[in-house]
Structure 1
Amino acid sequence: MTNPELIDRLIVEASQAADWRSGCAREGYLPLFNNFGQVSYLSPAGDLLIDDLEDGPLRPADPGERDFALARAAENYPELTDLRPSRPQFATTCELCRGGGKVKLSQGAIVPWQGDNETRPFLYCPGCNSLGWTVTVAS
């Protein structure tokens, strides 16, 4: 559940930010993450929307996009940490990133990213959608 007043305040702050957020500002929506053109937005009502094109129409996020965007929201806006998807009790640690949610390429292989001391840039883990954990659905 979102706090509409908090989201409204963050929307104003983001529109005045000295980073990518001001360039992605949209009235009534908080930019959460810019993924090489695709931007995730949060409304004060808690709706998660995606803009696939710069200044294109907004569409509802699918569940995977929602999880990813809310995880990024927690990184970009500390006040929104409680929106980060919670790890279910029966989830397992992602084998690809070993729970860190980030990976790097090393000698042609995907390996866990080790943190701030890394010299190579990271990628968000495709194995767990950057959450650090996965849930296997029994068939």
Structure 2
Amino acid sequence: MEELILPKQGVPSPALAAQIQEWINALPSEGLWNWVSRVCKEEQMLPLHSTSIYIWALRPDGQVLCMDHEAFSHPIDREIDPLKIYAVLQQGTRTYPELSMLIPPSPPGIRQCESCAGLGWVKLPEAAYADTCIRCDGFGWY
């Protein structure tokens, strides 16, 4: 079997790994509405980005994971798509700037989405809320 080679992603320093663990420990887990945080806490992963089906999260060892939160068993897999790893970590730095050292080099040809300016969402002119950017599928990059 051929070994999968992913772009070089930074490895958290012991101090950053401890900080990631603290953020995980602080996730709210009480109440039905916090079920995603509760699952992330149980699986020792920090949620960074989500779509209507998937949640991407980071473990203290620097591994990016993807959880299908619509499936009954909530399967969790290691993310292997370089674009998604890059985009998820970029999105994660909006909340946790300390994670910037973990962002791998951008995959060849990747561009920040012009439609949403890299946010992953757009404000709808006729509504008081924002919606996922269709151009980049909510990642901010394509």
Q: C-alpha root-mean-square deviation of aligned residues, in Å?
A: 3.5
**Separation of aligned partners in 1, 2:54 and 2:111:** 29
- Number of aligned residues: 120
Question: Which stretch shows the higher mean deviation, 68-77 or 26-35?
Answer: 26-35
Quick check: which one's helix share is greater? Answer: 2
Higher RCO (CA < 8 A, seq sep 6+): 2
Name the structure 2 match of 1:104: 123
TM-score by length of structure 1 reads 0.60
C-alpha distance in 2 between matches for 1:17 and 1:127 = 31
Task: Give the fraction of aligned pairs with identical amino acids, expressed as a percent.
Answer: 28
Relative to structure 2, which stretch is displaced further, 87-96 or 14-23? 87-96
- Counterpart in the other structure of 2:77: 59
Asked whether 1:26 is paired with 2:42, we answer: yes
TM-aligned CA deviation for residue 41 of structure 1? 1.6
Structure with bigger strand share is 1
Which position in structure 1 is the counterpart of 2:3? none
From 6, 11, 35, give the equivalent of 1:2. Answer: 11
Q: CA deviation at 1:50?
A: 0.7
- Partner Cα separation in structure 2 for residue 59 and residue 89 of structure 1: 24
Contact preservation (8 Å) 1:33, 1:41: yes
Give unpaired runs (5+ residues) of structure 2: 1-9
Unaligned runs of 5+ in 1: 108-118, 135-139
Shift of 1:52: 0.5
